């Protein structure tokens, strides 16, 4: 095994370099020296070219670094000229340095925060963290991060032994570091963290930072923050600002009152939804069946009904021997439930399909219970009537003359 010279650490701003191919394994090219960062620490790998041939992937195989060049005709011992996709590399450097600054600024708001995972790519830059931070805390952290960026602090890189006293003030997860050395990224006096990534020399190069999303981190962490740097940050911040102005105009309030206004509206919606659930349940439980031969057909077209209540009531009604239920709710779309007592030989999914074909929707279920929805609300009543007539036709033609023929 050979030891590759890691030019990306010696000079992170090196865009082009000469190298010698020391090994080839299929499409994987191994060089004696490389400026291609193979990825790690959450930062995506570099791409570029080798002698003009596109490098589509860079990674590590143990301690060796491979460069994938599809259908390569290179030979072992060949000297080659290599070039990074510099725009890509520089954005990844800025994103990674920006992530360090953002997290430290967030940690100033809550020292108990911990990094769960980092994913710095071109299309998306994400910091997953554990712990809590309020929206006001996040706002203050973002302001602080941009102050640090605007201060154009120097970014220094140190490599020290694992037992060095210099690690006292460093954010580090020692169990993740192989070997006896620790690589430290120091951002002025603001932050120090162990990291194997490639970074900018000064914070001013980042060009600004914006947060575009914060959601649950699901299984990976408590929370996930997506951010942008540079012009993308400016663009996303502008988009969010215009959206806020538009929402304020719709709500008829000042931008400073958007959050409390929306919060009040949310409370009102939840209160109305609860009243709607109560009214829907009363309306549905008051349904009187239409007698068709020896069957009881419960059917209705509803408006803005609570759909969970529709399902709950339908399930309750079909416990009765001979009960069939057809309900259609018209709100944002047209929602249909077709159900029957499990002893009745009705193909509910097939009947549902007939209605949903008219509504332009999709759905499904089991033989005696099916549901689905379609966007064409204007045809809701027509679809309801067509399915209702089909149910009556099936009962009249197949079950009326033989009271036992409907039994499963």
* SS3 track for the chain: CCCCEEHHHHCCCCCEEEEEEEEEECCEEEECEECCCCCECCECCCCEEECCEEECEEEEECCEEEEECCCCCCCCCCEEEEEECHHHHHHHHHHHHHHHHHHHHHHHHCCCCEEEEEEECCCCEEEEEECCCCHHHHHHHHHHHHHHHHCCCEEEEEEEECCCHHHHHCECCHHHCCCCEEEEEEECCCEEEECCCCCCCEHHHHCCEEEEEEEECCCCCCEEEEEEEHHHHHHHHHHHHHHHHHHHHHHCCCHHHHHHHHHHHHHHHHHHHHHHHHHHHHHHHCCCCEEECCEEEEEEEEECCCHHHHHHHHHHHCCCCCEEEEEEEECCCEEEEEEECCCECCCHHHHHHHHHHHHCCEEEEECCEEEEEECCHHHHHHHHHHHHHHHHHHHHHHHCCCCCCCEC
The CATH number assigned to the domain with range 5-84 reads 2.40.30.130
Selection from 63, 64, 56, 53 nearest residue 25 by Cα: 64
Take residue 379 and report the two structure tokens written for it: 């045809």
Burial class (CB in 10 A: 0-12, 13-18, 19+), 266: exposed
Name the residue ranges covered by the structural domains of the chain: 5-84, 90-251, 278-399
Q: How many residues does the chain have?
A: 408
The CATH number assigned to the domain with range 278-399 reads 3.10.310.40
Residue with tokens 């549901």: 371
Mean pLDDT by 10 residues, the chain (408 residues): 88 97 95 96 96 96 93 93 98 97 97 93 95 94 98 95 85 76 94 94 98 84 92 96 95 94 93 80 86 92 87 93 94 94 92 95 94 94 95 87 58
Report how far residue 194's alpha carbon sits from residue 43's, in angstroms, rounded to the nearest whole number: 14
Question: Whole-prediction pTM value?
Answer: 0.76
Do 5-84 and 278-399 share a fold? no
Selection from 48, 26, 24 nearest residue 38 by Cα: 48
The CATH number assigned to the domain with range 90-251 reads 3.30.980.10
**pLDDT attached to residue 404:** 57
**pLDDT attached to residue 189:** 95
**pLDDT attached to residue 403:** 54
Report how far residue 368's alpha carbon sits from residue 311's, in angstroms, rounded to the nearest whole number: 13
**pLDDT attached to residue 390:** 94
The b-or-e profile of 37-54 (16+ CB within 10 A means b, else e) is bbbebbbbbbbbbbeebe
**pLDDT attached to residue 220:** 67
């Amino acid at each position: 095994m050979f030891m590759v010279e890691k030019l990306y650490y010696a000079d992170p701003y090196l865009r082009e370099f000469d190298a010698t191919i020391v090994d080839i394994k299929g499409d994987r090219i191994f060089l004696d020296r490389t400026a291609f960062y193979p990825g790690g620490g959450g930062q995506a790998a570099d791409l570029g070219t080798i002698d003009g041939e596109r490098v589509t992937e860079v990674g590590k195989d143990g301690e060796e670094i491979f460069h994938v060049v599809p259908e390569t005709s290179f030979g072992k011992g060949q000297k080659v000229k290599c070039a990074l996709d510099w725009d890509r590399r520089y954005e990844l450097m800025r994103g990674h340095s920006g992530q360090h600054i953002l997290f430290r600024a967030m940690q100033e708001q809550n020292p108990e925060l911990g990094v769960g995972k980092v994913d710095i790519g071109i299309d998306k830059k994400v910091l997953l963290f554990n712990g809590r931070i309020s929206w006001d805390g996040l706002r203050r952290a973002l302001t602080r991060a941009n102050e640090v960026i605007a201060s154009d602090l120097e970014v220094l890189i140190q490599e020290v032994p694992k037992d060095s006293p210099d690690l006292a003030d460093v954010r580090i997860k020692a169990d993740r570091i192989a070997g006896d050395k620790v690589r430290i990224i120091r951002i002025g006096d603001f932050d120090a963290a162990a990291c194997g990534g490639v970074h900018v020399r000064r914070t001013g190069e980042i060009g600004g930072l914006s947060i575009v999303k914060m959601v649950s981190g699901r299984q990976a962490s408590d929370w996930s923050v997506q951010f942008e740097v540079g012009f993308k940050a400016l663009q996303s911040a502008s988009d969010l600002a215009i959206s806020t102005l538009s929402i304020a105009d719709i709500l008829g309030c000042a931008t400073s009152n958007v959050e409390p206004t929306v919060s009040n509206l949310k409370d009102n919606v939840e209160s109305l939804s609860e009243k709607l659930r109560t009214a829907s349940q009363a309306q549905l439980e008051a349904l009187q069946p239409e007698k068709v031969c020896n069957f009881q057909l419960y059917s209705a077209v509803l408006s803005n009904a609570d759909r969970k209540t529709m399902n709950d009531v339908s399930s309750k009604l079909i416990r009765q021997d001979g009960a069939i239920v057809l309900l259609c709710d018209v709100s944002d779309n047209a929602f249909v439930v077709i159900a029957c007592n499990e002893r009745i030989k009705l193909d509910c999914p097939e009947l549902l399909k007939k209605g949903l074909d008219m509504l332009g929707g999709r759905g499904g279920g089991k033989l005696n219970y099916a549901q689905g929805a379609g966007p064409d609300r204007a045809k809701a009543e027509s679809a309801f009537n067509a399915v209702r007539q089909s149910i009556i036709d099936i009962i009249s033609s197949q079950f009326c003359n033989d009271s036992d023929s409907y039994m499963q």
